[in-house]
Amino acid sequence: MTRLILATRNAGKITELRSILADAGLPHELVGADAYPDVPDVKETGVTFAENALLKAHALARATGLPAVADDSGLCVDVLGGAPGIFSARWAGRHGDDKANLDLLLAQLSDIAEEHRGASFACAAALALPDGTERVVEGRLDGTLRHAPAGTNGFGYDPILQPEGETRTCAELTPAEKNAISHRGKAFRALVPVVRELLG
């Protein structure tokens, strides 16, 4: 069985990706980057989600000699010209402080009317092989931003994005419901045939 490394140490994301890829019938053993504690974290110096995903996937593939999958994703707010975008995880200044990021974004949008609160989650998923082969696919989930967080599932900006056609936020959906429509779910399902083609 081929081992496929997921370039993340985020337990929530590993669980989500395992579920998506397993549901698609991939037989590969999926492990997180935490299985390789000596491999340093990669600086996300790209200016697009795709560039950052490739940086992480290539670094892990080179360091371990195994195929690696990475993603980069974020929230793109229409009225902010696509921001926070690649800066989503550190919008408030410190990487991964979900509450601070949420609070800052809601404050910035506090006087924006409903009809201008369009936003989307975007995700680029990359597969890199030790020989330098690479592929990138993308997924997107459109919706609108609530004025206050709702729900306790998910992470990041999930409590404020209400997907198109839904009355609940992403954080109010079950993990299965979210995976079925999410940007990450779409991107990783699009990556499945690529993994099959390149890894068998």
Annotated binding residue 8:
yes
The answer to whether 162 and 180 have CB atoms below 8 angstroms apart is no
Annotated binding residue 157:
yes
Annotated binding residue 12:
yes
State how far the Cα of 109 lies from the Cα of 78, in Å rounded to an integer: 11
Residue 20: closest CA among 163, 178, 197: 178
Annotated binding residue 184:
yes
Annotated binding residue 178:
yes
Collapsing DSSP states into helix, strand and coil, what is residue 73? strand
State how far the Cα of 139 lies from the Cα of 163, in Å rounded to an integer: 14
Please give the radius of gyration of the chain, using alpha carbons only, rounded to the nearest integer.
Answer: 17
The answer to whether 159 and 185 have CB atoms below 8 angstroms apart is no
DSSP strands (E only) in 89-200: 118-128, 134-145, 161-163
Annotated binding residue 182:
no
Annotated binding residue 119:
no
Annotated binding residue 94:
no
The answer to whether 33 and 14 have CB atoms below 8 angstroms apart is no
Annotated binding residue 120:
no
Annotated binding residue 73:
yes
Instruction: Select which of 34, 72, 97, 131 is catalytic.
Output: 72
DSSP strands (E only) in 51-97: 68-77
Annotated binding residue 45:
no
Active-site residue, 72 included: yes
Would you list which residues are annotated within the binding site? 8-13, 72-73, 155-158, 178, 183-184
Would you list which residues are annotated within the binding site for Mg(2+)? 72
Catalytically active residues are 72
Would you list which residues are annotated within the binding site for substrate? 8-13, 73, 155-158, 178, 183-184
